[in-house]
Amino acid sequence: MFSYRHAFHAGNHADVLKHIVLVQILEHLRQKDKPFWYFDTHAGAGRYDLSGAWARKTLEADTGIARLWQAPKPPAAVARYLDAVRACNPDGQLRSYPGSPWLAWQLLGERDRLRLFEWHATEVHHLHEAMRQQPREVARRTMVYAADGFVGLKALLPPPPRRGVILIDPAYEDKNDYRRVMQTVREGLERFATGCYAVWYPLIQRREAQLLPEKLSRLPGVEWLHASLLVGDPKLSGLGLHGSGMFVINPPYTLRASLQEALPWVAQTLAGANGRYTLQSSDAPRREARRPIAAPSSARPPAKPARPRPPRIRSSEG
Ligand SMILES: C[S@@+](CC[C@H](N)C(=O)[O-])C[C@H]1O[C@@H](n2cnc3c(N)ncnc32)[C@H](O)[C@@H]1O
């Protein structure tokens, strides 16, 4: 059995990127007066106590959500995400961090449905507890499966309303997760070609992680948007998460513009001069996608000498 527990990492820079993107996708889907389904192949515990021993051990939220919490004038996509985090902290103090199911519970309407997979028995228990804190009708729209999300998703696609978003957010503690993500997306697209697939992946010194967005971008005939956020440079030890990416297949047409506005601000607010981002899409010309990574001027003071860049991340922006 795997040992990964998201409570050690909840609210860190990777959650910030993932959840800003997720909130934007859900916001877009609910604009239309048609129901949709939300699938979460790796749902986690649903809600995390930031004052708990695990969160305090790593203090990852201190350099993630805590840096955005009181920051003035966030861009619209960040403001919407912060509203969702505030709804999880009604007294205004940042004590809890909402996981992806919690965000979806807030944003889905009465005709929408949630299908959540979580394989770790303790996390499933916490997820049920988090669900009990929701109004009864929200819980009624939700199914929690204590099962392997890579396997279980297939049987549920396509969703009856033929509209849906699939968050694929493994811990990648098993390197087979990279292969299984590809397989899950391929099989998903065969059954539900118009679904919006959002894949989170870590920026770490591992070949499989570096290849994943490249492989996803080569899937035939799909539109995609790829955002990454870096808060530092890779460590010489090869350990640690210096950034992460969200690869979105069939993105809402509004997503690129909202991330274009949000990411420079997020990079700057989280990491100052070390903050960088990339934003690429399937319709960007190749030439643009090959430019070396560079933060927009607002994200990095010009006087500083350029730092060495990770070799495989390429930017279309900045
Ligand atoms: C990164 S966490 C999920 C965080 C959550 N999506 C969020 O954004 O709040 C990954 C979760 O996947 C669970 N997990 C690992 N392998 C799994 C699998 N094959 N199927 C379902 N869940 C799995 C882990 O127990 C862990 O809780």
CA of 21 to the centre of ligand 1 (A): 18
The token pair that represents 69 in the structure block = 């919490």
Distances (CA, A) of 189 to 114, 116, 185: 19, 19, 6
Pairwise pLDDT comparison (87 vs 287), residue with the higher score: 87
What number does the ligand 1 atom closest to the CA of 102 have?
A: 9
- The CA 305 to ligand 1 mean position distance, Å, reads 39
Residue from 3, 6, 50 to probe ligand 1 pocket by mutation (most atoms less than 8 Å from CB) = 6
- Ligand 1 centroid from CA 168, angstroms: 9
**pLDDT, tens only, 189-236:** 999 999 999 999 999 989 999 999 999 999 999 999 999 999 998 877
Active-site amino acid positions:
169
Report pTM: 0.90
Least Cα distance to 260 among 77, 80, 82, 81 occurs for 77
Specify the CATH superfamily of domain 33-46+104-299.
Answer: Vaccinia Virus protein VP39 (3.40.50.150)
Indicate which atom in ligand 1 lies nearest the CA of residue 46.
9
Residue 158 confidence (pLDDT): 98
| Ligand 1 pocket residue status of 171, Cβ below 6 Å | yes
Task: Give the pLDDT confidence of 60-95 residue by residue, as tens digits.
Answer: 999 999 999 989 999 999 999 999 999 999 999 999
Q: How far is the CA of 141 from the centre of ligand 1 (A)?
A: 21
- 172 touches ligand 1 (CB under 6 Å): no
User: What are the boundaries of each domain within the chain?
Assistant: 33-46+104-299
Question: Phi/psi class of residue 221: alpha, beta or left (left: φ > 0; alpha: ψ in -120 to 50)?
Answer: left
